[in-house]
Amino acid sequence: MTSSIDSRPAARSGIFSIGGDLPVNRLGYGAMQITGPGVWGDPVDPANAVAVLRRAVELGVDFIDTADAYGPAVSEELIRTALHPYEGVTIATKGGLTRTGPGQWVPVGRPEYLIQAAHLSLRRLGVDTIDLYQLHRIDAQVPLADQIGALKDLQTAGKVRHIGLSEVSVEEIEQARQIIDVASVQNLYNVTNRASEAVLNYCTAQGIAFIPWFPIATGTLAAPGGPMSELAVSSGHTPAQLALAWLLRRSPVVLPIPGTSSLSHLDENVLAAVVDLTDAQNDAITALA
């Protein structure tokens, strides 16, 4: 198991410049899990959440992904409590996907809603400008140009620095790029789910950050007896570390954002940045799809 703690291991994951001018260490952190296991109305342990967020930064993580919908509203406030004024740490948030109850995620892309959502995120995070604001989902009920237009208005007003999209096709990215520069794309992608391969290839070719969500498949890739257990034993790394190291190697535009509410899992996951997969190990993981 890769267990010796480099003082800032995430800083060894390589640097990617989001939008060409916002450099971050490629191995980031996803802040959905700090709101509790069901991510809706669960009891939150704020002291633990603050400790996890601060520890991530101590370990060299300087890119944190969140959304207004996590909690809802709880994750952004915990991030502010833990890390404001964020010196050297980029907080990416998202809007446009509402929570109406446990397991219920409803896209709302009306321009006036998106603008209000971004202003509420600005207030919760305590910033004048959001470094990376991502449309959490395209709302099929609203013309795409109207949704992207709202993000453009936010950017023009200085409320948002860079714009990203989530769960999109290549075609949708290209439509959006007729109106704005797309700095990032956040789609589901991991060792066992490669449905977004074409989008990842497009982002690689275009120099757009690709932020794979569920990078360890909600923990199933880390579980004992999972698809990487054997390789973990023979390589001396944990399954989660292998899953993340494989993502980091997959393309220089990939910014994995593993989520955890556990300090020990955080320590373990961040060490993926110092795992140097051999070609044979990489091929063996690639073959697991």
Ligand X SMILES: NC(=O)c1ccc[n+]([C@@H]2O[C@H](COP(=O)([O-])OP(=O)(O)OC[C@H]3O[C@@H](n4cnc5c(N)ncnc54)[C@H](OP(=O)(O)O)[C@@H]3O)[C@@H](O)[C@H]2O)c1
Residue 207 CA to residue 199 CA, distance in Å, equals 12
In angstroms, give the least distance from the CB of 167 to ligand X. 6
Residue 128 in 3-state DSSP?
A: coil
Is the CB of 18 or the CB of 217 nearer to ligand X?
217
Among 35, 93, 155, 261, indicate the residue that binds ligand X (CB under 6 A).
Answer: 261
In angstroms, give the least distance from the CB of 189 to ligand X. 10
Binding mask 206-225 for ligand X (x = CB under 6 A): -------xxxxxxx--x---
Q: Which stretch binds ligand X (CB under 6 A): 43-51, 116-124, 262-270, 274-282?
A: 262-270
Phi, psi at residue 272, to the nearest 5°?
-60, -25
Q: Which stretch binds ligand X (CB under 6 A): 116-124, 171-179, 251-259, 279-287?
A: 251-259
Is 113 noted as a catalytic residue in this protein? no
Single-letter residue type at 229? S
In angstroms, give the least distance from the CB of 80 to ligand X. 16
CB atoms within 10 A of CB 142: 18
Residue in 70, 86, 133, 202 annotated catalytic: 70
Task: Output the CA–CA distances (angstroms, integers) from residue 273 to 26, 104, 163, 247, 256, in the order listed.
Answer: 9, 34, 26, 10, 10
Alpha-carbon torsion angle 16, 136, 288, 254, nearest 10: 0
Listed in sequence order, the residues at least 6 apart from 67 whose beta carbon sits closer than 8 Å to its beta carbon are: 32, 75, 76, 93, 94, 95, 97, 134, 136
Is the CB of 19 or the CB of 239 nearer to ligand X?
239
| Contact residues: ligand X, CB under 6 A | 30-33, 65, 136, 166-167, 186, 213-219, 222, 240, 257-262, 265, 268-269
